[in-house]
Structure 1
Amino acid sequence: MRKIFLIIALFSAVIFNVPGQGLGGPGTIKDDGRFAASTKQLNQFFRRFNGEESVDGNIRFYPGDPLYRDAALRKGFLSILFDNQTSTVPAELKNQFIQNANSDVYPNYLVFHREGWYAQVEAEFMFKGKREKATLFMKIQPEGLGYEWVIDQVVFEPFKNLFNKPVGNKKDFLHPLSHELGFMNLRRAFQDSNAPESFTSNSYKPDYLAIFLYEMKQNNLRFVTVTGTKFHFFQIQGWYFEVNQFNRPGFNTGWLISNLVRLGPGDKETILKYIYDQE
């Protein structure tokens, strides 16, 4: 897998002039009805979320600049980083999120190289002569002097029913005195059974990514194309949000927050299981 380093700008900055915006005060955003807020790249989403670029996108702010992470600037940006056309996120929940992320006491920022965000990549592969869809979950990890994207997990439809471990009375087992027979009854697990996973420990979970890579190495699986990408964020304490790309007419386009959830105890784990299709 090709290494993607942060130092060579994985998300290369592309500067766009955005018409119809102005400064109403120091760092504030004036909406004159032509609020061209298209966030065309994900790295721009990071900068806008954190308040690290000018309203027109022409100036990048760094630590030491007066407007770097300015609260008023951030509030304006955060308000236009939502999908306001198709999303069902309540306005009150958005306001709570903005207030929490932009708190005067403990503001929360997104950090590219920190854990807590994942890419979900929809792709298509040829598997044993048939076109199949796969979902790859990617994360950033340190590598050398920079960072790289790596495949963390995979969801692949042909593998979903590969392991259906029986439970309860339906589950076959090896007698606890099998050792006295020199485990000769392993024949039941490896020859007589159609579900050899029945003889694994209660904590056993199949590694679908390993199987996926094995099939690829056996030339049974061939990459075709990527069909879509979205991102999951848990970096803002107490919140989860999803970012999707919207290509449509108007100004509410680009990379925008499409889903927002306030997290309670255990909610993060539940959402991760849902995202990773483990339920």
Structure 2
Amino acid sequence: MRKLAVIIILFITSIELAPGQGLYSPGSPQDDGRFAASTKQVNQFFRRFNGEESADGTKRYYEDDSNYRNRELRGKFISILFDNETSGIQNNLKTEFMKDVLSEPLPQYLAFHRGEWFAEVATTFIYKGKRENVTLFMKLQPEGLGYEWVVDRVSFAPFKNLFKKPQGDQKSFLHPMSHEIGFMNLRKAFQDNKLPEAYTPKEYEPDYLTLFLYEVKNGNLKFDNISDVKFHFFQINDWYFELNQFNRPGFNTGWLISNLIKLKPGDKEVVQKFIYDQN
């Protein structure tokens, strides 16, 4: 309950009282169409966040260019990398985030291969003749001379419903003297009991990814479609943000930050658990 209370507080603090307001007043660079053009690709989000492309998006900047990672350019870019229409992130939270990211002499940047970010892919599979939602959590890993995306976790409701480990007085158990009868009472655990997970250690967690792959290999789970993709970032010290794609008229479109949370010690693990468990 304490963890649930913490995560609720974290998300409440990210809600803005006056939705739709940006970091800057009208007439500022935020309203300049050059900067507000859609961030069409995730890689472009990285470049803009780091200040590695021109304002109009037509030129890449590299380390030998004087404009590379220019602080002023980064500030203008980051200010338009928020979803300012629907997410309702507080302006003061955006300002604090930008201050931390742009702080001198040690500004912070995003790095594609550094880890601490992952994809959440909403898919559908056909399972036992029925279309079911499956959430895949993907991460990058080194492979040969490059990198590859791999499935790191899976969330699938039918699997979760299979494992409902009882607690307290409701939990079956093997008597501590079971060894003296050669564990003959294992028959009770595996033949007469419909919840064999009751006989596992307290720290036991079902390996849903292995179950998922097993069902795929046996033809019981068949890929159907992808309905949504989002990304979760923990690369910026003491911050978490979520990246979503918005397809809509106007300038505030493309890949944008849709959620922003200032992390205190211990919050990172709570947020990660919430992300994995909410599906």
Structure 1 length-normalised TM: 0.87
Aligned to 2:66: 66
Structure 1 residue 37, shift from structure 2 partner: 2.2
Aligned residue type for 2:99:
Q
Give the whole-Å Cα distance in 2 for the aligned partners of 1:33 and 1:195. 60
Give the whole-Å Cα distance in 2 for the aligned partners of 1:49 and 1:32. 17
SS at match of 2:162: coil
Aligned to 2:213: 213
Give the whole-Å Cα distance in 2 for the aligned partners of 1:215 and 1:244. 30
Give the whole-Å Cα distance in 1 for the aligned partners of 2:34 and 2:143. 43
Mapped contact 2:83–2:258 kept (Cα < 8 A): yes
Aligned to 1:244: 244
Structure 1 residue 215, shift from structure 2 partner: 0.8
Aligned to 2:173: 173
Mapped contact 1:29–1:55 kept (Cα < 8 A): no
Mapped contact 1:34–1:251 kept (Cα < 8 A): no
Mapped contact 1:29–1:73 kept (Cα < 8 A): no
Structure 1 residue 35, shift from structure 2 partner: 4.8
Give the whole-Å Cα distance in 2 for the aligned partners of 1:53 and 1:146. 23
Mapped contact 2:234–2:240 kept (Cα < 8 A): yes
Aligned to 2:157: 157
Greater RCO structure (CA 8 Å; 6+ sep): 2
Q: Which runs of 5+ in 1 are unaligned?
A: 1-27
Aligned to 1:57: 57
Give the whole-Å Cα distance in 2 for the aligned partners of 1:259 and 1:37. 20
Mapped contact 1:125–1:223 kept (Cα < 8 A): yes
Q: Deviations along 1:213-243, whole A, 9 cap, x unmatched?
A: 1111111100011010000000000100000
Give the whole-Å Cα distance in 1 for the aligned partners of 2:127 and 2:167. 30
Structure-2 change in CA distance of 1:191 and 1:60 (3 Å): same
Aligned residue type for 1:89:
I
Structure 1 residue 266, shift from structure 2 partner: 1.1
Structure-2 change in CA distance of 1:227 and 1:278 (3 Å): closer
Give the whole-Å Cα distance in 1 for the aligned partners of 2:111 and 2:124. 30
Structure-2 change in CA distance of 1:191 and 1:82 (3 Å): same
Aligned to 1:9: none
Between the aligned residues of both structures, percent identity stands at 63
- The answer to whether residue 104 in structure 2 is matched with residue 99 in structure 1 is no
Q: Deviations along 1:237-265, whole A, 9 cap, x unmatched?
A: 01000000000001110000000000011
Mapped contact 2:30–2:79 kept (Cα < 8 A): no
| Residues 181-192 of structure 1 aligned to structure 2 (within 5 Å) | 181-192=181-192
CA RMSD of aligned residues (A): 1.6
Aligned residue type for 1:198:
A
Structure 2 length-normalised TM: 0.87
Q: Which runs of 5+ in 2 are unaligned?
A: 1-27
Moved over 3 A (4+): 28-36
Aligned length: 252
